[in-house]
Structure 1
């Protein structure tokens, strides 16, 4: 039988996977399990490198830097792997902290919280070549993430709406949709219309628990993924343990999806809950955990749309309200925990942080169930109905342990703490890059079968990777797939290629 040319085979695979938009015109086979660091730049100290976005036209990388003031660093990658730092964009006079950036069609969008964090923030749009401001648009309180839709028509922000330290001011969480084609008109969506659904959502793991907060105030949008056809957005509501589904065309919230809980008694969900047992040992325990995802990314396989979440976990921790408790400090109902005294020892569950807001059935200070924070892995859902088709169990942590980089000092908190995730296309296949804040590493997975992802590689990064960005071959400055991490604790930006 006559063999087809390699290009024809690759193009056929791309068409079969519905990913022609992600496929370069002159593809070169690459090994997604062989990423290595090829360049890096140091932008300062803590908070000097948080989120990055790349403009293929100008070959510039834009990185949020809040170490000393609200700026966006501009890195010239035109001679990559040489990286040249250009004059930064200073937005400090326009508001408070810059939280996120996104690029589309020669435009850079910057999410900027207000100087008063509880007031409405804004999005600043600039030309990526001239760096001249095109527009500043008011959005909801604390825009924590900004992204363009794939077609460039919409700019979407997740406005977290966090309370102040004493919880005396708690703005409503919201999602803002900016229509670029309609003079940057903005519509900000809030969640009061779903208050009547809370009882049903709560039975599926959705959380509403802020002191005296209304439903709309308690919602805290974190991260946005937009569908390939630019019609829907999926927004993580991290502290609430949910995902909001947004109709971008009609500008409305169409659904809230509760994400359930993870049963740590299930054999594949074993974890290490102690930072004082002087060993790394994954075991099963009579507890559950809220997934509480941070980042979310959208992808399709064979025409079926999916989203993937990094199940970081997060707790509300303010001077007037801190939901976290050590298991050792709680009174456990002996009917439900007959070996409660043993469980409360530091080498067992005693050191584990759990929420005080769930598990006390009778509100008498005695706990019948325990709920910790985070999934310590990632989940994949059918985007059509948010049905979970895969959950990584403890497999991600096992790979980290095998690599010899697990931090036992974080066992009592959220383990490896997966915070960021993005999906890129290599050789016509979707590849996930999952950033783990507490082990300074990226987990790489082949998502060709979303129900059974294939582990490929662990990549060491800078300290605490906050942003993870994939630049495909056809947009890369040197024609090779490029992975970029922005590392918030050491202020570095690292570049990796296969």
Structure 2
């Protein structure tokens, strides 16, 4: 009887230990509407703090910094909120600029473009504790974002494949899948197989417009989100206004999803189109806008998977090709724009930047439709079928205006410019953090109902937050949820807690 009791106790203890591996370590309730700055560090006078990744085992934060050379700064958070800068990782001898970092199971992956930006780049994998190099793997041209799958098996890069300034060299955009469990074998996927689909994609808002570019060359992958089961990747094709769906297990592009356009004549989509009217006033206009998302994040609510995108907007602007035009410089068809002269005033639509690549139906230099850049907010999709279940309209800009943080000088050019997004869990609820580059702030939303997100807070950050990272309480260095922004223009990293 005593032996059975002892065995039962041992089994019960083992069971409880197994359960706590996946249970939250912090039972304290936190208020996701109360984030405030608790620490910060300056990486240099003209540094470009871009993307950060955190290793809970070593309690180190790794931040891309291309101030003088291709380096990754190493910040010790073990005594947080005290933050200590350690010796940085200098990868300049291995390639060009470091663009992104990701961490999984004691490994740090760094996305490194080639010295010749149009050549194939690489991913460098290091040990997060010793910082010794494990592997360098060749990927596609200009790896702009790198991430591990949740199970740590795959490293995935979005290889943007941007052209050179005179557009004489335009590499293919691609996605590379590195299998960590198979000796870091790599498979790089392009989009040539979808060339014949452009006729069906274009009416739904997909764009292919680079000078003399093939379909594969014109695609520019930007950011990657991976499903919870590590089987699929969703990749924003920013300049193209689409999202690619990728099978990681079989290494195959499954689909390209066009994202449509936002109708600014619709009452809830009103915007301030002028930086010259000396006021902030949201109005409706005869304009459509391409969403052109940058960051994307995957989350699940009640077993249903979703994607959230930061609909930043982006235009191609090169010495040999610039698609941007001011409305005031265009010839508008009077049949479609009977009040063209009034619209073209700088206090109305005249200053708004639009694309010259869409809207001229007869290719005669006269425009029948106007298409601008970016959604000035965020979108949420069902991951299963890519149906949009929510689009923020002008609500994010409304909250920024209420907070006194709106920058009217950007009204003509993508507004608040939502660039980064991540989703974290607090008190058993999903919370979205949306980084706005031109507001120097984060918008915080409760995503419990993904079809009707609830605004919680505007959090002021450093100048031009590029990367936004959420660390759950049970992984945080001090046992409380931690929000981190990497701020591109002032080279700071800011830390926020509720």
Using the size of structure 1 for normalisation, the TM-score is: 0.95
**Which residue does 1:72 correspond to in 2?**
72
**Which residue does 1:53 correspond to in 2?**
53
1:239-275 per-residue CA deviation (whole Å, 9 max, x = no partner) reads 0000000000000000000000000000000000000
CA distance in 2, matches of 1:293, 1:21: 35
1:56-89 per-residue CA deviation (whole Å, 9 max, x = no partner) reads 0000000000010000000000000000000000
**Which residue does 1:324 correspond to in 2?**
324
Q: RMSD in angstroms over aligned alpha carbons?
A: 0.9
In the TM superposition, what is the alpha-carbon distance from 1:496 to its structure 2 partner? 0.1
Alignment of 1:173-192 (within 5 A): 173-192=173-192
1:187-206 per-residue CA deviation (whole Å, 9 max, x = no partner) reads 00000000011010001000
CA distance in 2, matches of 1:185, 1:332: 53
1:417-468 per-residue CA deviation (whole Å, 9 max, x = no partner) reads 0000000000000000000000100000000000000000000000000000
**Which residue does 1:83 correspond to in 2?**
83
**Which residue does 2:9 correspond to in 1?**
none
**Which residue does 2:133 correspond to in 1?**
133
SS at match of 1:216: helix
CA distance in 1, matches of 2:346, 2:131: 54
In the TM superposition, what is the alpha-carbon distance from 1:45 to its structure 2 partner? 3.4
> Does 2:172 align with 1:172?
yes
In the TM superposition, what is the alpha-carbon distance from 1:21 to its structure 2 partner? 9.0
CA distance in 2, matches of 1:326, 1:441: 27
**Which residue does 1:268 correspond to in 2?**
268
Residue 311 and residue 23 in structure 1: after superposition, are their counterparts in 2 closer, same or farther (change >3 A)? farther
CA distance in 2, matches of 1:456, 1:25: 24
Residue 341 and residue 92 in structure 1: after superposition, are their counterparts in 2 closer, same or farther (change >3 A)? same
Where structure 2 has 5 or more consecutive residues not aligned to the other structure, the ranges are 1-19
Residue 120 and residue 358 in structure 1: after superposition, are their counterparts in 2 closer, same or farther (change >3 A)? same
CA distance in 1, matches of 2:242, 2:119: 24
Larger mean CA deviation between 274-283 and 45-54 belongs to 45-54
In the TM superposition, what is the alpha-carbon distance from 1:24 to its structure 2 partner? 1.2
In the TM superposition, what is the alpha-carbon distance from 1:46 to its structure 2 partner? 3.9
**Which residue does 1:385 correspond to in 2?**
385
> CA contact under 8 A between 2:227 and 2:298: conserved in structure 1?
yes
CA distance in 1, matches of 2:213, 2:195: 12
Residue 21 and residue 334 in structure 1: after superposition, are their counterparts in 2 closer, same or farther (change >3 A)? farther
**Which residue does 2:358 correspond to in 1?**
358
**Which residue does 2:211 correspond to in 1?**
211
CA distance in 1, matches of 2:164, 2:223: 20
**Which residue does 2:30 correspond to in 1?**
30
Residue 274 and residue 75 in structure 1: after superposition, are their counterparts in 2 closer, same or farther (change >3 A)? same
CA distance in 2, matches of 1:28, 1:122: 42
**Which residue does 2:343 correspond to in 1?**
343
CA distance in 2, matches of 1:105, 1:415: 39
> CA contact under 8 A between 2:236 and 2:296: conserved in structure 1?
yes
> Does 2:294 align with 1:294?
yes
**Which residue does 1:456 correspond to in 2?**
456
SS at match of 1:473: coil
CA distance in 2, matches of 1:97, 1:282: 39
CA distance in 2, matches of 1:407, 1:248: 41
Using the size of structure 2 for normalisation, the TM-score is: 0.95
> CA contact under 8 A between 2:60 and 2:78: conserved in structure 1?
yes
Provide runs of 4+ in structure 1 moved above 4 Å.
Answer: 20-23
**Which residue does 2:154 correspond to in 1?**
154
**Which residue does 2:40 correspond to in 1?**
40
CA distance in 1, matches of 2:30, 2:369: 48
**Which residue does 1:14 correspond to in 2?**
none
**Which residue does 2:15 correspond to in 1?**
none
CA distance in 1, matches of 2:49, 2:111: 15
> CA contact under 8 A between 1:23 and 1:428: conserved in structure 2?
no
CA distance in 2, matches of 1:178, 1:247: 13
Residue 22 and residue 449 in structure 1: after superposition, are their counterparts in 2 closer, same or farther (change >3 A)? farther
CA distance in 1, matches of 2:338, 2:346: 17
- Which is greater in Rg? 2
CA distance in 1, matches of 2:462, 2:483: 13
Residue 447 and residue 261 in structure 1: after superposition, are their counterparts in 2 closer, same or farther (change >3 A)? same
**Which residue does 1:17 correspond to in 2?**
none
> CA contact under 8 A between 1:46 and 1:488: conserved in structure 2?
no
CA distance in 2, matches of 1:446, 1:21: 26
> Does 2:319 align with 1:314?
no
> CA contact under 8 A between 2:26 and 2:479: conserved in structure 1?
no
SS at match of 1:443: strand
> CA contact under 8 A between 2:327 and 2:350: conserved in structure 1?
yes
> CA contact under 8 A between 2:25 and 2:473: conserved in structure 1?
no
In the TM superposition, what is the alpha-carbon distance from 1:28 to its structure 2 partner? 1.4
> Does 2:84 align with 1:100?
no
1:1-26 per-residue CA deviation (whole Å, 9 max, x = no partner) reads xxxxxxxxxxxxxxxxxxx9985134
* Number of residues of Structure 1 aligned to a counterpart in Structure 2: 479
1:297-319 per-residue CA deviation (whole Å, 9 max, x = no partner) reads 00000000000000000000000
Residue 304 and residue 22 in structure 1: after superposition, are their counterparts in 2 closer, same or farther (change >3 A)? farther
CA distance in 1, matches of 2:187, 2:163: 22
SS at match of 2:484: strand
CA distance in 1, matches of 2:196, 2:299: 32
